[in-house]
Amino acid sequence: MRKEIDPCNLELFERRVARHEQCSAKYTIALRAGNRETIPMFVADTDFVAAPAIREAVLEAAEYGIYGYSVLPDGYYEAICGWQERRHNWKPNPDFILETPTVIWGLSMAIQTLTEPGDAVIITEPVYAPFAMLINRHGRKLIRNQLFLEERRWQIDFDTFEQQIIDNNVKAFILCNPHNPVGRVWTIDELRQIGAICARHGVYVISDEIHGDIIYSGYQQHSFMSVCPELAPQAIVLHAPSKTFNMPDMKQAHMFILDTELHDRIRAAYDMSFISGASLIGRRACIAAFTQCDDWLDDLNLYLEGNRDFVIDYCHTHLPQVPIAHAEGTFILWPDFNALAAEVGIAPTDVNNWLLKEANVLLSEGTDFGVESAGYQRMIIATQRSVVEEALRRITAAVAGA
């Protein structure tokens, strides 16, 4: 990992681009909820222009002027596998990759294929809200395991997790690795414990690793598949360049399924859905991301780590009533506003609205991520440091004026 950000990359990260006119979901929703000055820290996309190599690849493909049906460009799967080998210390076989338009679409396909209506599927809350949504929408039984906080670090209660699996005859677990919103980068030991429990009870592990490339100093992301290869017949890993390289609108993601039988089952479901994969532009962008952007990403991680440290230090000094667990990766923080709510005399469930009205900052409501998360808010810090600073300054002023 580099120690100092390359000045050209720093200039890119610090560059503010007006996004209201770009059909940006984040800015449009914030504008509708508040006004043009509302600081949006609720959608997990970044405010950074794409890495130069990605922009070049996209512009070159756009220059063709003809956007007809395409085949996979040369080097596509090799780029995806090479990235895993360089950044995550394992080498998937290109034959076992399935391209998906989005990670959530792949998750949905996996749940539909591997479980039956009425089957129980477990998640560890608080967690990315669409996990619960898709389990419910597919008519599966949602089992909520609660993470717990110990010394500012969120943990899995493995005994309860296993007991819930037994009691409910759970068929699948959606693992968030690293974990949105609590910022944990699960250790090898934790992943092995998950693997052992799921192996004992025949539970499919669907590991969502979309945040696996935003990792801070001192931590290492491990793909579930690399830690528990023996679980290949019951494990699926989902990954994408979308979060890391800010290209979710390119609709390019992928699944790794290392077991032939499992791969064929999911492949058959794909074929039935008649879904087509990413566009050529998305695939070219993906190749550029995974072959030419290692240094850019190291710099991005340093910049985001600086944002994380800034927020934690700032709150420690100026907003001590807002404790924040130490994120190990992801550009997401999970501050606890319960004490602040008590201080300003509002209910924990009114915090989101209060922050919007009094500070003009839009965060994500905690209860969307877990039934026990009232008073928590999800804060996306993938923006310019000056924006993060302004948001915190506004919150401090709102508290002072309450």
Ligand X SMILES: Cc1ncc(COP(=O)(O)O)c(C=O)c1O
210 binds ligand X (CB under 6 A): yes
The answer to whether 344 and 353 are in contact (CB under 8 A) is no
Closest to ligand X by CB, 219 or 358: 219
Please identify which residue in the block is written with the tokens 């394992």.
90
194 binds ligand X (CB under 6 A): no
Query: Within 10 Å of residue 36's Cβ, how many Cβ atoms?
Result: 9
Peptide bond into 320 cis (omega under 30): no
Closest to ligand X by CB, 235 or 240: 240
177 binds ligand X (CB under 6 A): no
* 37-96 binders of ligand X (CB under 6 A): 44
240 binds ligand X (CB under 6 A): yes
CB of 252 to ligand X, least distance (A): 9
104 binds ligand X (CB under 6 A): yes
Strands (E), 117-191: 120-125, 141-146, 148-150, 153-155, 170-176
Pick the binder of ligand X from 47, 208, 365, 368 (CB under 6 A).
208
Distance CA 8, CA 14 (A): 10
The answer to whether 333 and 327 are in contact (CB under 8 A) is yes
* 243-272 binders of ligand X (CB under 6 A): 248, 253
CB of 40 to ligand X, least distance (A): 14
Pick the binder of ligand X from 83, 128, 186, 296 (CB under 6 A).
128
Please identify which residue in the block is written with the tokens 């990235």.
83
Q: Given the rule CB under 6 A, which of 99-107, 188-196, 290-298, 377-385 is the region that contacts ligand X? A: 99-107
CA angle 154, 316, 38 (to 5 degrees): 90
DSSP annotation of 215 reads: B
The answer to whether 299 and 5 are in contact (CB under 8 A) is yes
Q: Given the rule CB under 6 A, which of 97-105, 117-125, 151-159, 259-267 is the region that contacts ligand X? A: 97-105
Q: Give the residues lining the site for ligand X (CB under 6 A).
A: 44, 102-104, 128, 176, 180, 208, 210, 240, 242, 248, 253
